[in-house]
Structure 1
Amino acid sequence: MAEKQNEAAAYHRENLFSYKIGPRFFSLPLKEVVYLYTEKENPGHINLLAVTRKVTFPGNLNALEAQYPMLFRCDKSYLVNLSNIANYDSKTRSLSFIDGSEAKVSFRKSRELVAKLKQMM
């Protein structure tokens, strides 16, 4: 009972990103999340790249996209935190992040991304 309440509380805090590995729950401030991505070689697992850590945990991007609407789906394999973008090159459709990493933006999501970035200015 208490575990269910803790799990529910962890997942409902808007300023925290929470994930589970086995029986353990982890949380970090959402502002530290740079992006989440999946790899074809490791289906059913999500890679989290954050300012303070890099981890892999079981899950899928569709569920996380619904759970954290402040994260943006720029490609079928990437869910990015718009507040951690350093710059966006619309010609190459390439996002650069504050930690120096990069992600590609799909052609279909490029226009939506530009609109969201303009809203943030």
Structure 2
Amino acid sequence: MEASFDTEESFDDPSCLSPQPPGCVSPARRQIREVKETKTTINGVTFPLPGEGPEQQLLKPKEWSYCDYFWTDKKDPQGSPSVAGFEVLLQKQLKGKQMQKEMSEFIHER
């Protein structure tokens, strides 16, 4: 297969060839400005603004996932109505870090 480029069809949009007046915003700059209005950048990472755009779709929405177990809110044994699933994961991670620290100190003492 050989790709051919037709110069007449490459420039179908006459706005890309015509000179822009000084106050006019180019289509590329307009698109960048629109992207900035719907997203925010923190430390070089771009995040969508809350409530903007569609919610991310699940890969298999009809099937149960382990993520459902970990991210759903849990009943708190101490009487609070519920604990966020993220909080449960965070506590497990912190407990694991503490155990690792204690084990390394124990091994270092031997």
1 or 2, which has the higher strand percentage?
A: 1
Larger Cα-atom Rg: 2
TM bracket (short chain) = under 0.3
1 or 2, which has the higher helix percentage?
A: 2
Scaled by the length of structure 2, the TM-score of the pair is 0.24
Scaled by the length of structure 1, the TM-score of the pair is 0.23
Q: Which has the higher contact order (CA 8 A, sep 6+)?
A: 1
